[in-house]
Amino acid sequence: MGNGTHGRVWHTDETGNIAFSCFIKTNCSLDQIEGITVELANLIKEVFQELYNITLGIKLPNDMVYNHKKIGGILVETKVSGDMVKYMVIGIGINTNQEKMKEELQEIASSIRIEFHKTIDNNQVIKRFFELLEKTLLQRKLLRNHEK
């Protein structure tokens, strides 16, 4: 389990799924991160389309969905001082290889494996996501001194 928005709990299987957070030092204005959660969702969507020919939807602002069921989520937390963002913590959870959902979640949540009958290489997905993320952060000038 992890954290979701509005104090909700994110349910994920102990093995086989993607669940990680990354810490990004920055020193940018709030304007520079506007829409970042939706942009991250689009990156995830791009990764699954590119690697597996899977088309996921986005339920704004931070859910990855398919067939009206939540497949994954994104949470971005920031530390703001004055009007400057000092850092961001990006949390991502994606149900990739989970074979069964708890009964109470079956109507609202699913996984790539359940919906598409495909086994996902989580390392490949994460690697490609970080390649796209780095490009996005550089384009937005969000990395402090262009640190990686």
| pLDDT for position 7 | 56
- Is 13 part of any domain? no
> What CATH number does the domain containing 46 carry?
3.30.930.10
Instruction: Look at the block and give the residue holding tokens 């990006």.
Output: 90
DSSP 22-71: EEEEEEEEGGGGTTHHHHHHHHHHHHHHHHH----EEETTTEEEETTEEE
Other C-beta atoms within 10 Å of 135: how many?
A: 11
| pLDDT for position 144 | 58
Number of domains in the chain: 1
- Taking the chain (148 residues) in runs of 10, the rounded mean pLDDT of each run is 50 77 93 94 98 97 95 95 94 95 92 97 98 94 63
The range of the structural domain enclosing residue 111 comes to: 2-6+18-146
- Is 23 part of any domain? yes
